[in-house]
Amino acid sequence: MHIELKPQISNAGFKNIFYDIEQLLAEPPETNYKYIFYVLDMDVIYGDNRINEYKNQKKSVESLDQAKERLTIIESRPCIEFWFLLHYKNTDKCFVNCDEIIVELCKHIPEYCKNQNYITSLYKELKNKLETARQRSEAICKKERVDNEDYSYSGMHILIRILDDLQNKTSPNNQIK
């Protein structure tokens, strides 16, 4: 099994991404992608007060028969940098936007820079702290909340678990890149 990860920083709105996902799902997995992961930041969606619109679109795409076994949507609030921060700090403080997280993250990674090249290379620095971040992320998502409680979270632990499961199904020589 070959797994190819292509991190892409995109400014495309969720409507466009969900449309693209629907197009990918319309093709059979044998001729296209067997699994589709949509990893997104939630800060703009919340900041623009479009959370209900997002949830409706998400529900619509996830209800497609083809999506049930192939699509996983991974949200981070406010942004993926919260996941990076969990490698260093256990918190579910509600950071309003990505800039707040980056200030906190730079206390641990002073050279942090949000660009495609840096984020692609960041894995090497975070790799040894991955299990810690996974446990923290999972605990935050499982924690009972009061109604309308605002908090930061990341579903990246779900993606890591799925990729680990896929890798374990392959021979020991196959690696996820």
98-154 pLDDT, tens digit each: 999 999 999 999 999 887 778 778 888 899 999 999 999 999 999 988 888 899 999
The contacts of residue 85 (CB under 8 Å, 6+ apart) are 91, 101, 104, 105, 108
Angle at 33 between CA 17 and CA 21, to 5 degrees: 15
Residues 36/70, Cβ–Cβ less than 8 Å: yes
* Dist. CA 77–CA 25, nearest whole Å: 26
Asked if residue 28 is part of any domain, the answer here is yes
Give a yes or no: residue 103 inside a domain: yes
Is the predicted pLDDT of residue 176 greater than 60, yes or no? no
Q: Which one-letter DSSP state was computed for residue 87?
A: T
Q: Is residue 48 part of a domain?
A: yes
Q: How confident is the model at residue 86, as a pLDDT?
A: 98
- For residues 8 and 85, give the distance between their C-alpha atoms in angstroms, rounded to a whole number: 20
Considering the chain, what is the average pLDDT of its residues? Answer: 88
Asked if residue 108 is part of any domain, the answer here is yes
List residues bridging with 72 in a β-sheet.
37
* Average pLDDT of span 35-58: 93
176 near 166, Cβ under 8 Å? yes
Q: Is residue 6 part of a domain?
A: no
Q: Is beta strand 153-154 parallel, antiparallel or unpaired with respect to 36-41?
A: unpaired
- Measured CA to CA, the distance from residue 46 to residue 61 in angstroms comes to 20
Task: Tell me, yes or no, whether 22 lies in a domain.
Answer: yes
Residue 7 lies in a domain: no
Residue 177 clears pLDDT 50, i.e. is over it: no
Number of domains forming the structure of the chain: 1
What is the number of other CB atoms lying within 10 angstroms of the CB of residue 74? 18
Q: Is residue 73 part of a domain?
A: yes
The structure's pTM equals 0.86
Segments forming the whole domain that contains residue 116? 14-169
Give the per-residue pLDDT at 149: 87
Residue corresponding to tokens 């984020």: 119
